[in-house]
Each structure stands twice: as C-alpha cells, then as structure tokens.
C-alpha cells in the first residue's frame, strides 16, 4: 500500500513527463505543414491524458491537507498510476513510430523534389533547344521571303517581257 505523498509524487512525475511529451509532440506536429490524421488524433489523446493527470495532481495537491486517504482510495490511485504509466509507455512508443514515419516522409519528399528539379531542368533544356530551332526556322522563312521578293520584283518582270 502506498502512502498519499508517494502517490502524489508519482502523479506529479507523470504529469511532468506528459507535459514534456505534449511539448515534444507539438514541436513535431508544428514542424510539418500538414500532420497526418493519426498525428492529430494522437495529439488529442496526449492532451486529454495530460489534462486528466493535471486534474488528479491538482486535486491531490489541494486535498492532501484536508483528507486522509483510506486504503481503497490508495489502491485505486495505485492501479490508476500503473495504468497511466502503461499508457505513457504506449504513447512514447507511438511518438517514436510517428518520428520514424515523419522521417521517411521527409526523405520521400526530398527525393520527389530532386526528381522534379531534374525534370524541370530537362524541360528547360528542351525549351531552349526548341527555341534555337524555331529561331533557325524563322531565319530560313525570312530568307525565303526575301528570295520571293527578289523573284517577284526582278526575275518575274524580266521573264514576262
């Protein structure tokens, strides 16, 4: 059986850890432009657990001087603490999984960005090459037009005489 101060200290310790988890998670979710739906759900769950733990810690802090905790309440708090510790481990594992997913997604995005850059470069080179070819065609058309003008003005009148 645990004494009320030990339970309170355990709860406060867990509250501190969940506060760090919430901060870490907010940093990760904030660092990407649009977090996956799972990340948003996980964030909501972490915030809910943090809120419950904070309420339990506040309650124990306010009530510790006024209420003597009996055996049944201690047992319930111990079980809750154990369950919260299990939940905390699960949340930490989920956060690690999320970090790995975000890392591979970032690598995929960087790879796709490189592919797009290469393709844009190829399109630019092709456009430049086509521009040169179009300029040559345009120059050739101007030469043909000049030749036709000469034929029309000089050669054709002589042939018609």
Could you tell me if residue 153 is inside a domain? no
* Residue 95 covered by a domain: yes
Q: What pTM was estimated for this model as a whole?
A: 0.31
Judge whether 128 lies within some domain. no
Answer whether residue 126 is part of any domain: no
pLDDT band at 69 (very low <50, low <70, confident <90, very high): very low
Full domain range(s) for residue 31: 4-117
* pLDDT computed for residue 34 by the predictor: 57
Is 133 a domain residue? no
pLDDT digits (tens, 9 = 90+) for 139-161: 888 888 888 787 777 766 777 76
> What pLDDT score does 9 carry?
72
Report if residue 156 sits inside a domain.
no
Place of tokens 């960005």: 113
157 in a structural domain = no
pLDDT tens-digit map of 86-119: 888 888 888 888 777 777 767 777 788 888 888 8
Alpha-carbon distance of 87 to 18, in angstroms, equals 10
Count the domains in the chain.
Answer: 1
């Amino acid at each position: 059986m645990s004494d009320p101060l030990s339970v309170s200290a355990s709860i406060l310790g867990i509250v501190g850890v969940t506060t760090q988890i919430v901060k870490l998670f907010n940093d990760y979710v904030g660092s990407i432009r649009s977090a996956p739906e799972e990340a948003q759900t996980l964030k909501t769950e972490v915030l809910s657990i943090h809120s419950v733990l904070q309420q339990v810690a506040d309650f124990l802090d306010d009530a510790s001087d006024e209420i003597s905790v009996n055996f049944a309440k201690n047992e319930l708090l111990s079980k809750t603490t154990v369950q919260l510790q299990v939940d905390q481990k699960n949340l930490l594992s989920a956060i690690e999984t999320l970090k790995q997913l975000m890392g591979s997604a970032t690598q995929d995005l960087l790879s796709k960005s490189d592919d797009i850059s290469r393709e844009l470069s190829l399109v630019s080179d092709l456009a430049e090459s086509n521009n040169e070819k179009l300029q040559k065609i345009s120059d050739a058309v101007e030469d043909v037009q000049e030749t036709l003008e000469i034929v029309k003005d000089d050669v054709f009148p002589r042939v018609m005489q």
